[in-house]
Amino acid sequence: MDPNGYLDPVVYDVDIKFGSSYLYHDNKYMAFVMHQFVYFAIVIIENSVYFVGDYIFSNMMGPIVDKALGHYKTEVTLQSPFPG
């Protein structure tokens, strides 16, 4: 839990999968270079999460998720069981 009482994940491992996505380009060489660049970036992110995952996901992304979810609060409007 963080100082505000919210549950923040501590991430030490990430497995990035794009399923059957494919990067298309008219030039075969450019498609190969772009594919290798994206694949290399994914490997870098997956390997660096062990060292900086706690900082990235808890300290940087945690407050953003807290704000996006309205600090885990919601309004519930119910009709009164008593008429009038």
- List of residues 6+ apart from 34 with CB closer than 8 A: 23, 25
With bands split at pLDDT 50, 70 and 90, how would you rate the model's confidence at 40?
very high
With bands split at pLDDT 50, 70 and 90, how would you rate the model's confidence at 37?
very high
Give yes or no for residue 54 having a pLDDT over 80.
Answer: no
Q: Determine the structural domain holding residue 44 and report its residue range.
A: 1-84
Which pLDDT value is given to residue 6?
67
Q: What are the tokens at 60?
A: 């940087």
Give yes or no for residue 74 having a pLDDT over 70.
Answer: yes
Q: Which three-class secondary structure state does DSSP give residue 81? A: coil
With bands split at pLDDT 50, 70 and 90, how would you rate the model's confidence at 7?
low
CA-CA distance, 13 to 75, in Å (whole number)? 35
Number of domains in the chain: 1
